[in-house]
Amino acid sequence: EVQLLESGGALVQPGGSLRLSCAASGFTFSIFAMTWVRQAPGKGPEWVSSIGSSGSNTYYADSVRGRFTISRDNFKNTLYLEMNTLRVEDTAVYYCANTPTVLPGIIAYYFDYWGQGTLVTVSS
Amino acid sequence: DIQLTQSPSFLSASVGDRVTITCRASQGIRSFLAWYQQKPGKAPKLLIYGASTLQSGVPSRFSGSGSGAEFTLTITSLQPEDFATYYCQQLTSYPCSFGQGTKLEIK
């Protein structure tokens, strides 16, 4: 059974930092891209960042570029999101998601398995 | 950036009805669109990818169609558990984008 388990969410002051983790099991983690998606209260999902299967390629939303860093450890089957200089508008539930592509070699990604989410609250 | 616009934003229907949700992309994305269902307090659940491929375990009353810039999600014979919010999504070029959502409510 595929499982994605996020952790690390917390209440943090503006300007603070957090590191989220996503422990994966039940599938071959190292062959899939992975993604962080967040959802602010009452809003729709918002893509945050994606990383290729090897970790060499990373992509960020403009709203987090330069402040957040995505990484992965394929030996530990774990995805990370380092978040710095946090803002009130970063408050959201953060989900990690497995990211397969419709066709090999084609940029046509979707999210087939999601974790349960971890809540990040940025407030003074 | 590719924008996705869903219509309608709200939909009221009854058990047994057939409903259709539309997602329009600001530029062509071939057939590379996915649909998700989300219930309160839960993560989105993949229903359809590649515009029309049903994810394993998803009931056959859900179907998707379309290509290029216009796509539809159809639910035939609505069941009580289908009342939720639905989102379309594309990642054919970065940044990834989601539609704004369609909330399906019981009439």
CB within 8 Å of B42: residues ≥ 6 apart = none
Q: In Å, how far is B58's CA from the nearest CA of chain A? A: 12
Residues B105, A92, A23, B88, Cα dihedral to 10°? 40
How many angstroms separate the CA atoms of B66 and B68, rounded?
A: 7
Q: What is the pLDDT of residue A122?
A: 98
Q: In Å, how far is A74's CA from the nearest CA of chain B? A: 23
Inter-CA distances, B54 with A63, A94, A114, B65, Å: 32, 26, 17, 11
Q: In Å, how far is A16's CA from the nearest CA of chain B? A: 25
- Mean pLDDT score of chain A: 96
CA-derived radius of gyration, chain A:
14
| Cβ-defined contact of A108 to B32 (cutoff 8 Å) | yes
Bridge pairing between strands B10-13 and B102-106: parallel
Chain centroid to CA A57: how far?
A: 14
Per the structure block, which two tokens stand in for A1?
Answer: 């059974």
CB contacts under 8 A, A 41-100 vs B, are 44-47, 50, 59, 61-62, 95, 99
Q: Do A117 and A22 form a contact (C-beta atoms < 8 A)? A: no
User: Which among A87, A118, A65 has a CA at the least distance from the CA of A17?
Assistant: A87
Q: Do A48 and A61 form a contact (C-beta atoms < 8 A)? A: yes
- Mean pLDDT score of chain B: 97
Q: Is pLDDT at A108 greater than 90 in this prediction? A: no
Each residue's pLDDT tens digit, A3-29:
999 999 999 999 999 999 999 999 999
Q: Do B87 and A44 form a contact (C-beta atoms < 8 A)? A: yes
Chain centroid to CA A86: how far?
A: 15
Q: Is pLDDT at A107 greater than 90 in this prediction? A: no
For residue B35, give the chain A residue with the closest CA.
Answer: A110
Structure confidence at residue A104 as a pLDDT band (50, 70, 90): confident
User: Which among B79, B75, B56 has a CA at the least distance from the CA of B65?
Assistant: B75
Q: What is the pLDDT of residue A103?
A: 86
Which ranges of chain B have pLDDT less than 50?
Answer: none
| Chain A residues inside the 8 Å CB shell of B45 | 114
